A and B are shown apart, each in its own frame.
Chain A
Amino acid sequence: MKTRFPLCAAMIAGVLSAAAPAQAVEQVTPPQLKWSFAGPFGKYDPAQLQRGFKIYREVCSVCHSLSLLSFRNLADPGGPGFTEAQASQIASEYKIKDIDDKGADIERPGRLADRFPSPFPNELAAKATHGVAPPDMSTLAKARTYSRGFPWFVFDFFTQYQEHGPDYIAAYLQGYKDPPKGFTMPASGHYNEYFPGHVTAMPPPLEKDRVTYDDGSPQTVEQYAKDVAAFLMWAAEPHMVQRKRIGFQVILFLIVLSGLLYFTKKKVWHEVEAPRELAHGQDPSKTSI
């Protein structure tokens, strides 16, 4: 036991770390950015979410649907912080397909309860422009996860790193560049540093000053990328702030309860080891192993 165990473990660890297998699709790990919503006390920045929403609205929504969100979500707590009146105003600026009393197709102004409309009537129409249907963005930030590899996934368990999605999206949006020498580009597509396989169907959507920010934030691609990534994270996890808040209370409660149960256990077991049963010098608290 004494020599064989550590020897075996070392051998296996050595083999594993030396392994460099061919990967199915090459994925460059995006840089880890600072997000206001990261960590146990993280919160969304309403100003950032509003800027991100503006980018979604003016740039992305031409092709990408956000079909699981409703206009009323814009006024939900822990989100972009629009008032109900503002959300209602935004809703009314959209045209929603409906039918009138006689069953004819009409378009009417959006209401709070309406979902964000899709830019395409169906999947095939969505595919037509670039050969691939632009994915719906409602859960995109949670879908774009990637493996960080050992030992990061061990650290991530403790640091609560959950921002794979926004890190990837922000990196991807800034990752358009000329293909390096020797890289064969196919007939259509664009080179992107962070897209798995490096060839993405979407043309670069952002450029400097593409969207006007009312709050004076820099109108750079970097800022746009971060803001829309934060917005998409909110779109995917709207209850994150409430979740972390309740989590803090629950874990604190469980620690207190565990402590009380531990001392109760010690007290209960102490009674079993009445002094007459003990051999000289035995510790009553060490009866169960």
Chain B
Amino acid sequence: MSGHAIYQPQNKFMQWLEKRLPIGGLIHSSFVAYPTPRNLNYWWTFGGILSFMLGVQIVTGIVLAMHYTAHVDMAFNSVEAIMRDVNYGWLLRYLHAYGASMFFLAVYIHMFRGLYYGSYKEPREVLWILGVIIYLLMMATGFMGYVLVWGQMSFWAATVITNLFSAIPGVGDALVTWLWGGYAVGNPTLNRFFSLHYLLPFVIAGVVVLHVWALHVAGQNNPAGIEPKSDKDTVPFTPYATIKDGFFMAVFCILFAWFVFYIPGYLLNGDNFIPANPAVTPSEIVPEWYYLPFYAILRSIPNKLLGVCALFGSIGILAFLPWLDTSPVRSARYRPLYRQFFWLFVIVCVGLGYFGSKPPEGIYVILSRIFTIYYFAFFLIILPLLGIFEKTRPLPNSISESVLGAKA
């Protein structure tokens, strides 16, 4: 896809630099002149929002690391010292904690957008898989970050999640001991989690670069799901997409600020304000909200190993999506039957999240199992079959036609 305009630096310094390191040209072709479908809706602003949130997490994380101590005797108190004594420490801590939640909120919206509009389909399979890798890295980073607080929930979440690996036959126990660096979650575990928690966001940033690169090779998908055919179908990224991203980013930040400044206890588990006690397990171990659906899937399967397989499988299956969905039509706008299953899938995910927060008893177990079956059936049965049997709506002739009407 050729750029609309070639970068012509006016500034003498930029002319000099461009001959030696054409970074100006790269930025220009990727984020200024880059042709963007004109019909993108606001669901497309979340990619930019995610990049912004990654930046927020890295910046707040680095400054928090200036005051945090990763030792079992000092970690909890160092976090409280940040909250009480460090200038604006309370703000940095809440920004980082809620930044994680906002990061996951944005990533789920971003993923559901991809699911709805078929953004994972040919030729964007690698783009999608890179996204799944970013998501997995985010989950690992978020888990380790939560452990660093060394509250009750930090310690016991670390114990439960690391113990999952003992389900692997043969090497399971050795693997868990290796992860722990001891006979239980302890100081070695905390220290290595701090090291890795600091590292992974930069790995995420690297994969994001690949993700944006893969995106720019194929070009953006769009709500109509059909490729741009002419210049009339696209607009340059700057200022059109830039200003839209900027606007929605500001709106997103209002929600972020609402949590940070007014309801900072809303998503924080009270048990994590109690220092870790290896001798006392909290009455309910609940992960952060963004892990709840997978927690529900894990607990809905009575067998330990199969439960772990289902947990990792529920995320891993996403990587196969481009090949599981056999429909030649991308956007759910033109797939009336798929759309219904999609919304059901959304309800199932939200429902699984709700069940994950409840004790695994009674009706919650039954419903978790039903919802888990639907979750896997959606990918393994419904999507492959829909491609064959679904009667899709006729596609528009072009993007500009779908936007402006047939007279364009």
A and B touch in the complex (CB under 8 A): yes
| Interface residue ranges, A against B (CB under 8 Å) | 1, 4-5, 8-9, 12, 15-16, 19, 21-25, 40, 68-69, 73, 135-136, 138-140, 142-146, 156-157, 160, 162, 164-165, 196, 236, 238-239, 243-244, 246-248, 250-251, 254-255, 257-258, 261-262, 264-265, 268-269, 272, 277-280, 282, 287-289
Please tell me which one of the listed residues B84, B232, B284 contacts residue A68 in the complex, with CB atoms under 8 A apart. Answer: B84
Binds A, one of B27-35, B109-117, B155-163, B246-254: B246-254
0/1 interface trace, chain B 73-110, chain A, CB 8 Å (1 if under): 00001001101100000110000000000000000000
A5 adjacent to B362 (CB under 8 Å): no
A278 and B38 in contact, given A23-B359, A143-B274 (Cβ under 8 angstroms): no
Q: Are B250 and A254 in contact (CB under 8 A)?
A: yes
Asked if A277 meets B243 with Cβ closer than 8 Å, knowing A4-B340, A22-B361, A287-B38, the reply is: no
B19 CB-CB contact with A under 8 Å: no
Neighbour of B257 across the interface among A25, A140, A146, A250, CB < 8 A: A250
Give the complex CA separation of A24 and B263 in angstroms: 27
State in angstroms the CA–CA spacing of A146 and B90 once bound together. Answer: 22
Question: Which of B266, B284, B354, B362 is close to A157, meaning CB atoms less than 8 Å apart?
Answer: B266
Q: Is the CB of B244 within 8 A of A243?
A: no
Chain B residues, CB < 8 A from A257: 250
Contact call B262/A139, Cβ cutoff below 8 A: no
List B residues 12-58 near A (Cβ within 8 Å).
38-41
**Assembled-state Cα–Cα distance A12/B331 (Å):** 27
Residue B118 at the chain A interface, CB threshold 8 Å? no
Q: Determine if A250 and B261 form an interchain contact, defined as CB atoms under 8 angstroms apart.
A: yes
> Quick check: A272 and B240 within 8 Å, CB to CB?
yes
Interface residues on B, range: 35 or more
C-alpha spacing A12/B271, complex, angstroms: 30
Task: Determine whether the beta carbon of B247 is less than 8 Å from that of A24.
Answer: no
With both beta carbons as reference points, the residue of chain A lying nearest to B250 in the complex is identified as A258
Are A21 and B364 within 8 A (Cβ)? yes
Complexed CA–CA distance, A16 and B83 (Å): 38
B7 nearest CB across to chain A (Å): 21
CA distance A261 to B351 in the complex (A): 35
Do the beta carbons of B270 and A143 come within 8 Å of each other?
A: yes
Option from A1, A4, A196, A258 in Cβ contact (under 8 Å) with B247: A258
Q: Which B residue sits closest to A251, measured CB to CB?
A: B257
Q: A21 contacts B273, CB within 8 Å?
A: no
Other A-B pairs beyond A21-B361, A162-B262, A239-B84, 4, CB < 8 Å: A162-B263, A196-B283, A238-B84, A280-B407
Can you name the residue of chain A whose Cβ is closest to the Cβ of B152? A143
B40 touches A288 (CB 8 A): yes
For A162, the chain B residues whose CB sits under 8 A away are: 262-266
